[in-house]
Amino acid sequence: MPVVKVKRPELAAGEKVYLGAIVKGFFITMKHAFDSLRGKTRGADTLKSSGLGATMQFPEQRWDDQMPEYYRGAPTLVTDEQGRERCVSCQLCEFICPPKAIRIEPGEIPNDDAWAKVEKRPKEFDIDMTRCIYCGMCEEVCPEQAIFLRKDYLITGGSRAEMVHDKKKLYEIGGVRVGLVNKWNELK
């Protein structure tokens, strides 16, 4: 590869004294400051500004309704319109989970249960949210359409134990999903 010698640009006297540039910058800053006070910041609308400048005042204001359909938030378990917990604890999500955040203890559905024919459901289902990387592989691998990544992103806790979502919490966040494949229907 040929060597290209780049010549440094010749600076004029005014350019060599950088005070001029500083003053120029100062005026630009002041222009934006006044613009923001007058509510005329560029892009304030698209960025859902809270009023002053382009900044959204989190957590008073939220980005939630702007989030795309494919946003990957906290993984959760869902029930369907028949009120059946869809997870059958096949443990494929536990297997695929790259950071090993999921732990499932399978259990048997007792014979007197309305869904006894499904035979299996999780006794315990824990997702460690300090480990979860929101990759969505659990949702992708689930053969029962039972685990979905919701838009919840504010996962906080005062201790490590609080950051572990147990089965109850997962169903609480997950809620009901309608229109999923009903594999365990009356024909089954």
Partner 1 sequence: MSDSASTTEARLPKDLAAEKGMVNVQINGVWCQVPKGTRMIEACRMFGVDVPHYCYHPKLSSPGNCRMCLVQMGMPPRPAPGQEPSYNDEGYLDIGWMPRPVIACANTVTENMGIRTTGDLVDKVRQGVMEFLLINHPLDCPICDQAGECRLQEHSVGYGRGVSRFIDMKVKKPKNVDIGPRIRLDDERCIMCSRCIRFMAEVADDPVLGFTQRGTYTTLTVHPGRKLDSNYSLNTADICPVGALTSNDFRFEMRVWFLKETKTIDVNCGTGANIIVWTRGNRVYRITPRQNDEVNSCWMPDSHRLNFHYIDGPERLTEPMVKLDGVHQPATWDQSIRLVREALTNYPAQQIAIIASSRMTNEELHMVRKLAEGHGIDQISTVPRIGESDGKLISADRNPNTTGTRLVWKREDPAFRLSAILDGVRSGEIKALLVFGEDLTAEAGFTQEDLSKPEFMASVQLLAGPTAEASHVVLPGAAFAEKRGSMVNVTGRLQRLNRAVEPPEEARDDWEILRDLAGSVGPYLIEDVFKDMAGSVSEFADLSLSKIGDLGVVVTETGVTIPLLENERARKASGEIVG
Instruction: Show binding-site residues.
Output: 87, 90, 93, 97, 132, 135, 138, 142
- The residue (of 108 and 166) whose beta carbon lies closer to partner 1 is 108
- The residue (of 42 and 183) whose beta carbon lies closer to partner 1 is 183
Interaction of residue 140 with partner 1, rule CB under 8 A? no
With CB under 8 A as the contact rule, which of the stretches 30-38, 57-65, 87-95, 160-168 interacts with partner 1? Answer: 87-95
Interaction of residue 187 with partner 1, rule CB under 8 A? yes
The answer for residues whose C-beta is within 8 angstroms of residue 83's C-beta and 6 or more apart is 176
Taken in order 162, 122, 93, 142, the sign of the CA dihedral is negative
Burial of 40 per CB tally in 10 Å (0-12, 13-18, 19+): exposed
Selected from 118, 132, 137, 147, the binder of partner 1 by CB under 8 A is 118
Residue 129 and residue 155 in contact, taking contact as beta carbons nearer than 8 Å: yes
Residue 132 and residue 101 in contact, taking contact as beta carbons nearer than 8 Å: yes
Binding residues (CB under 8 A) for partner 1: these are 88-92, 94-95, 106-108, 117-120, 143-144, 183, 187-188
